[in-house]
Structure 1
Amino acid sequence: MTPRLILINRDYTRLWIGQAVSSVGDAVFSTTLVLWVATVLAKDETWAPMAVSGVLLSTGIAVLFVGPLAGVFVDRWDKRRTMLRTEVVRGGLVAVLTLVSFLPVDALPVGVWLALVYATVLMLNASAQFFTPARFAVIGDLVTGEADRARAAGIAQATAQTAWIIGPPLAAPLLFTAGLQWALLLNAVSYAVSYIVIRSIGAGRPAPAAGRTGGARQPANVFGEFTAGLRFFRRSKFLVALIVLAVIGQFGTGALSTLNVFFATDNLHMPTHLYGYIGTAMGLGGIVGALCAGRVVQWIGARRTTWAGLLVSGVLLLVYSRQTGFVGGVVLLFLFTVPLTMLNTAMAPLLLGAAPAEYRGRVVSVFYPVTQLASMLSAVLSGWLAGSVLRDVAGSFAGIRFGPVDTVFAASGVFVVLSGVYAWTALPRTEAPEKPDPGPAAAPDEPLPATPRGRTK
């Protein structure tokens, strides 16, 4: 397969094609399941919101409990083969759910349907904890140089944002005209396409380890390798600084996911039927920021892009919290998302530069679950603050109105600015990989088990 369009290099282009198809399938799948649970299984039931939240909870459990340990196995296994077998498992999981979905809804109790949905989502997202670090490591092999790695991360983010603009509008018509099973089948096919594309990539195969002969392998020590990864992460000033500023930033921006709908209707006086424009504005901002990130990193470097992006997005969030009109709010959200996406994109080459190849899986499997947890805690905390402690906050100062939600947003903007100041002062000038501690020997060419436990797009 020789793509006509080359993004950075041929192998990366192939990997991108797989991601693009897979991301659209994921967006359709996730949206379809939420709609089906809310409008079919739990229709008119008082517990419908809890049923939908179970889908999101299944995702969070996989990230927080499987993610940290998955990196140990990813570092030990052949990265390309891990990705391939992951796609087989994920495609099989979705195919099984697709077959079951051909049954009439009343053929099984609602509890059984929900259990099947939750179990499938849990296992798919558990699988993602193996696939994502493996893909991260393969990109590190395929793409070199800070600017090109930022371009690769930007293309990946833009692709994911585009998928979430394309996928959800496809999901509803598929569900309500063709049926649940066809939306699920689309996702299963996307895994098959991803598998075929990944097979055509030549990178990610491990070189024979020096000094090893025959078939003898050193015994696996999962806990020892996991703790060695944690020790390496803790010793790296650069990685510690990155994760601290990411956590602070997540606490600053997580409030948007919980409270923005209330801010839009109360502060921006936006009719509810126009709320979709909020998501569109942020999606477009994400695409613009991701596509511009590579060029910006080439101009000023990934480190400056990170702290400058935090400072600018924090100030824009503060300005957004003072908006009172629909147009101004939508424009500010677009502008806010551009530097936010740039800094998220710039972190990819920083992570790759700070982690040696044999520790990349564990570094990613520590970094992303921790930031995900910070985002979840931020969403919960902001909702609690707006609904309890700050519930009665109301008034004005110098003609500026203050309420519970805009106060939380203003505080969030301050947090983001503080994380930018921290990044400016704390990020070391170089992200060269430190020498890892000698620890339990990994077996990079150890084969995957016959029945892998997880994977996701």
Structure 2
Amino acid sequence: MTPRLTLINRDYTRLWIGQAVSSVGDAVFSTTLVLWVATVLAKDEPWAPLAVSGIVMASSVAVLVIGPLAGVFVDRWDKRATMLRSEVLRGALVAVLTAVAFLPADALPAGVWLAVVYATVLLLHTAGQFFSPARFAVLADLVTGDADRARAAGIGQATGETAWIVGPPLAAPLLFGAGLQWALLFNGLTYAVSYAAIRSIRLPGTGTNPAGPGGPRRPAGRQRASLRREFADGLRFFAGSGFLVALLLLSVIGQFGIGALGTLNVFFATDNLHADARLYGYLGMAMGAGGIAGALAGGRVVRWLGARRTTWTALLVSGVLLVAYSRQTSFTGGTALLFVFTVPLTVLNTAMSPLLLAAAPPDYRGRVMAVFYPVTRLASMLSATLSGWLAGSVLRDAHGSLGGLRFGPVDTVIAASGLIVLLAGFYAMAALPRTEDAAGRTAGPDVPKGPPAPHPVSRPEPR
């Protein structure tokens, strides 16, 4: 008899428990570092914002530089073992930083502290580039069928959103009440919990000690292929799949539309919604709550409409709502609309998960993720930079009215972003094949057709 607290199946539940605990730890860790650098290490220094931005840059370097190559190794290696080793490495890195954190802040020059923090963040996210594709492959083995995969994606989205609602409020009391080292130690312990959860997983067809969580082992000759050749094979497979290219393009277009919100929303809140800056956090809470609602509803919506139809419908609805948000002038109305906007946006992520899994045969899952995630991350970064440049430079003095509606630089960029998301919706409607045909259309002549699994357009993330 299935336990009542089981999510989809027992092994997925164990994987989810590890993810949930680790996600809270990540949220506490990231928030703690930002708070400590901004309020302790660089307190009252003019270079404090630059020091904080270095944390984000360190994580981005790992994604953009290491991510594309990590997929090759993940496709070669045992997926479950890769996840376990990643958690051991990340736990060890946090343990070292925790030990250093027992030193007083003035024991080392600020530059040395920042170097230690940046190096730790870089290495943590480097390990994460191996962990994420391996988890992607393991999830595909643990959960089958579009409906259950969409449900798993929804649960994962809701878990991540909840972690970023729960984690940051824990970080401040831990940092200022107990000290930096104890806040860091908390994150280290979450890696231990994640390790234990992953170790307890049993994968289909592998017995109690899975030897190949990502599927059958490759022939020995293929394992000896050069890194360059396997990387090139992955790029060729991705480029030769019209379905994967379509998913990537609509995700990039969507990221260009949504990424502007992460950069400009604080200015929109104060200038257009006429809100005090101290209320800005409530907009983040609204997005978090909308993300949870959308994630929990996503699996049911995919079951009703299908993954393909849900994808373009969610993009179209999100685009319209983002344009509507750009016209808001009250904080209450803006907060409510931002919550509603995030619901279909998160449903979109849930819908794209089975589409992406359908397009990724077992031997290529690591490399598919290693192309997809860095490119969409780069699109989000470029969108954030471009939107800030447009609103702060090119359109800085752009003020006017049309049909009784007033326009300024910030709301104009956000409205244009909504139109870009609409464009992605129309593109998805035309370009995406039917879900049931996806696997067949993406498999090349020498590549086995794989089962349908996650990622895509996401709301701006603080991580």
Letter in 1 for 2:140: G
Q: 1:305-344 alignment to 2 at 5 Å?
A: 305-344=310-349
Matched with 2:164 is 164
Which one scores higher on RCO, CA 8 angstroms, separation ≥ 6?
Answer: 1
Q: What is the aligned-residue identity percentage?
A: 72
2: distance between equivalents of 1:409 and 1:217? 48
Which residue is equivalent to 2:460? none
Which of residues 374, 382, 395 is equivalent to 1:377?
382
Q: Distance in 2 between matches of 1:210 and 1:139?
A: 19
> Post-superposition shift, 1:271?
1.3
What is the CA–CA distance in structure 2 between the aligned matches of 1:228 and 1:218, rounded to whole Å?
A: 13
Question: What CA distance in whole angstroms lies between the structure 2 residues aligned with 1:373 and 1:210?
Answer: 32
Tell me the distance in 1 between the aligned counterparts of 2:439 and 2:11: 25
1:91–1:188 contact (8 Å) kept in structure 2: yes
1:304 partnered with 2:301: no
In the alignment of these two chains, the number of paired residues is 436
Alignment partner of 1:244 out of 244, 249, 270: 249
Asked if the contact 2:241–2:443 (Cα under 8 Å) also holds between the matched residues in 1, the reply is: no
Report the Cα offset of residue 275 of structure 1: 1.1
Note the C-alpha offset of 1:4.
Answer: 5.4
Going from structure 1 to structure 2, the CA distance change for 1:15 and 1:211 (only over 3 Å counts) comes to: closer
Contact 1:68 1:362 in 2 (8 A): yes
Post-superposition shift, 1:217? 7.8
Shift of residue 69, structure 1, vs aligned partner = 0.6
1:208 Cα deviation after fit: 5.8
Q: Distance in 2 between matches of 1:436 and 1:359?
A: 12
Q: What do residues 109-128 of structure 1 show as CA deviations (whole Å, max 9, x unaligned)?
A: 11110000000000000111
Q: CA 1:424–1:173 in 2, change beyond 3 Å: closer, same or farther? A: same
CA deviation digits over 1:273-301, x for unaligned, max 9?
21111000000000000010000001111
Provide Cα deviations, 1:202-259, integer angstroms capped at 9, x if missing partner: 12632665876xxx88524111001101100111111000000000000001011000
Asked whether 1:54 is paired with 2:54, we answer yes
Counterpart among 406, 414, 425 of residue 430 in structure 2: 425
Post-superposition CA distance 1:159-211 (Å, at most 9, x none): 00000000000001110010000000000000000000100001263266587
Whether 2:207 is the aligned partner of 1:205: answer no
Give 1:13's aligned residue: 13
Q: How does 1:41-190 map to 2 (within 5 A)?
A: 41-190=41-190
Name the Cα RMSD after superposition: 1.6
TM-score (norm 1): 0.93
1:346 shift after superposition = 1.2
Alpha-carbon distance in structure 2 between the residues aligned to 1:437 and 1:101: 55
User: What are structure 2's unaligned runs of at least 5 residues?
Assistant: 204-209, 448-462
TM-aligned CA deviation for residue 272 of structure 1? 1.4
Give the Cα separation in 2 of the matches to 1:367 and 1:155.
21
Q: What TM-score do the two structures reach when normalised by structure 2?
A: 0.92
Larger deviation: 425-434 or 346-355?
425-434
Structure 1 unpaired stretches of 5+:
440-456
Change (3 A) 1:319 1:208: closer
Letter in 2 for 1:435: A
The correspondence for 1:233, drawn from 235, 238, 242, is 238
Match of 1:435 among 419, 435, 443: 443
Report if the CA contact (8 A) 2:18-2:197 is conserved: yes
